[in-house]
Chain A
């Protein structure tokens, strides 16, 4: 059965796409609005602004890949679709970061979990971060709109065994659990969302808002990396970009973009990086600081029966039992989820080598993996990381603080308790030096004593947030609550970089909903309400 590739069809029908790797000479582009980045923020903004009758150009540093390219193999997906071939790490190498880099951004490779911004986060932003007008009542209609647009519904099929173990453990222990809402339509339940959906069921930006914008005449420039914002007297007058070749190395071709309005949607690392490199006004030194990751711990449970964590919707259950257990700015909370289990992912994110590692890998199909995503950015000892420029790019320093390690110890204990309760024969906290634990009693004692440290304890992240916060107080924020720059009149930011803390929830729906609100307001402003 052949799968129809909507991108191939769209390109054949005349969509305006320029692959900058094919350009031989410098070129200039003009539109009403230029959007940098095509992920959750850029994709939604592009559709809304195009529908308002504005001409739009989307610029993406990654390549345009589509279902014909998605062959369900990590060795192809990681270099094609992820930042730094999925090998990106913090400066000290202690945290591995997964972030998308292709048309559709991280939405092309995420695991489809769609959660509205938690009420606790919105309240904290209003009270402590000067964010105005974003509360349950004002935002929920925007979430409803985006849920409808992206077919976000509760996953009403049987969870796969990996998620079912999380659910069963929660039931046995009386812990909260929630059935996840997913942005899919006609999902085949195969489990390969992280490698690009091979059947176009995932309603990522790649197959929804971006095609919709292109249908209405928007332009897409792929393999072009924005290097500088040219600004003067509080106005942006151009963006400069470098064309990249097919291997994403810079070519000699330079691109210039001019517009009435510019939107940065390059994600929580690259949006601040572009702004810092362009020396935009930042009198309170906020740019690139307070970068949040939901730093994540892993726990492996070996079961007697087949778990087959590679198969089926990768995330369909989560538990918020521990996310907001303490006050928002109290001891750090953590969200419990499961990841898909694929060969490179598990081989890399486990411990040791030789016989012990081979033994773990031989139990691949019996392995249930639970993850705990730590809610960072609220506690005084959890202030996130900082992006620094280097001659060739950037580094991200992210100190793992005492407050983080206290939360990590609690999280390892919760995960082990959950896995034993769900029927695990043994549990392995993924931190070097820990043996397989044989019972919850054994685990409780061992985890209380375990040594936790950067590089010894595996820490990963798939949620980069912050670095260009929104709010009304210029001492706390770079852009206002509508994403409009405090300093450059015709510049907005619409992506995860505006979050002044982490979310305590997977970020895609927060970005969709808040961008829908802010891009709609911008469209009205730019069209004088005539759109």
Chain B
């Protein structure tokens, strides 16, 4: 039934999100079975692919940036409206179970065991799919990751950007 809700409702886009604050969590509480679950492992597989070229080159810095982004993703999710959270968790749950993977990617191989090239293939298939479901899955994950990564001032050095210091 959960999957059906996701399939019918399509997946939430998550444009511009927050980190480090939890002042906005509209409407209702998280779905009970998702409380406390942060899908860290799942995202740790996706981040090197989605942020390739953006993450720092030095290994220790790269790991730190990925961990920071994982924290940011967790925070980003907390400020999403309940309906978007529900759709997101349904997608993430599907990506963590074999049947869901089969539906979304035509393969039961866990994402953890796929190469970066295979993960890119998966994202590209969704991105260029004729099915709105797969397109929205791609767009939702993409926006969540990008918004969370670029929310962090410590990730702005490649942009040569910093906010002004008005009040020193």
Contacts and interface: CB of A to CB of B under 8 A. Distances in A.
A531 interface: no
A347 B147 contact: yes
B166 A199 contact: yes
Contacts of A86: 15-17
A89 B10 contact: no
A196 interface: no
B102 to A, nearest CB: 23
Nearest to A63: B23
Nearest to B25: A247
Interface string B2-45: 00000000111111111111111111110000000000000000
A348 B20 CA distance: 19
Contact of B26 (A249, A359, A454): A249
B146 A87 contact: no
A501 B24 CA distance: 32
Interface in A180-198: 188, 190, 192, 198
B54 A361 contact: yes
B118 to A, nearest CB: 14
Contacts of B145: 353
A84 B145 CA distance: 17
Contact of B13 (A93, A353, A357): A93
Contacts of B21: 75-76, 79-80
B164 A353 contact: no
B139 A249 contact: no
A147 B143 CA distance: 38
Contact of A354 (B19, B29, B52): B52
A365 interface: yes
Contact of B24 (A80, A93, A390): A80
Nearest to A84: B81
Contacts of B50: 353-354
Contacts of A82: 16
Interface stretch (B89-97, B103-111, B148-156): B148-156
Contact of B142 (A2, A75, A353, A359): A353
B23 A80 contact: yes
Interface in A381-403: 390, 392-393
B70 interface: no
A72 B150 CA distance: 14
A250 B81 CA distance: 13
A348 B16 contact: yes
B135 interface: yes
Contacts of B13: 87, 89, 93, 96
Nearest to B160: A365
9 contacts: A78-B16, A80-B24, A93-B136, A190-B164, A192-B164, A353-B49, A353-B50, A354-B53, A357-B53
Nearest to A93: B13
Contacts of A349: 15
Nearest to A358: B53
Given A73-B163, A250-B28, A392-B82, 8 more contacts: A79-B18, A85-B79, A87-B12, A87-B13, A198-B166, A249-B28, A353-B50, A456-B135
A358 B53 CA distance: 5
Given A75-B17, A89-B13, A344-B150, A365 B23 contact: no
Interface residues of B, number: 60
Interface string B127-145: 1100010011001101101
Interface string A69-112: 00011111011101011111100110010000000000000000
Given A198-B166, A392-B83, A455-B135, A365 B24 contact: no
A76 B22 contact: no
A1 B24 CA distance: 30
A293 to B, nearest CB: 15
Contacts of A247: 22-26
A249 B23 contact: no
Contacts of A76: 18, 20-21
A348 B132 contact: no
A80 B24 CA distance: 6
B123 interface: yes
A246 interface: yes
A233 B39 CA distance: 54
Contacts of A75: 17-21, 151-152
Interface in A336-357: 343-345, 347-349, 352-357
Contacts of B67: none
B65 interface: no
A451 to B, nearest CB: 11
A19 B73 CA distance: 30
A87 B28 contact: no
Contact of A89 (B12, B132, B161, B164): B12
Q: Which among B21, B53, B127 has the highest number of chain A CB atoms within 10 Å? A: B53
A78 B158 CA distance: 23
B51 interface: yes
A364 to B, nearest CB: 4
A76 B52 CA distance: 26
A252 to B, nearest CB: 14
A247 B142 CA distance: 26
B125 interface: no
Nearest to A81: B24
B15 A87 contact: yes
Contacts of B80: 84-85, 87
